Amino acid sequence: MFFGLRRLKGALGVMALLWLSVLGCFITHMSLDLWAGLAMLPYLIWVSVAAMLNYSVANLNPEVEALDLSKL
């Protein structure tokens, strides 16, 4: 959504769902095994950084229009 369709704000919603999913995996893995949970931590951090970057780009470029798929 972010690159292909240029729907910057829609991509924020997708990133939020991904972050919640990874957080759920992290919590589940932590309850099963400490090392499995810690192995998920870098991914959770990376998704958080990517979401912040996505938010920054969307705020700095409010005039970007979504790609019109009918013109492809």
pLDDT, tens only, 46-71: 999 999 998 998 888 777 676 566 66
Query: Mean of the per-residue pLDDT values for the chain?
Result: 86
Domain ranges for the chain: 19-60
Name the band, by pLDDT with cuts 50, 70 and 90, for residue 45.
very high
CA 38 – CA 31 distance, rounded (Å): 11
The pLDDT of residue 67: 59
CA 61 – CA 42 distance, rounded (Å): 28
Work out the angle at residue 19's Cα, subtended by the Cα atoms of residues 46 and 41, and round it to the nearest 5 degrees. 45
Judge whether residue 16 has pLDDT over 60. yes
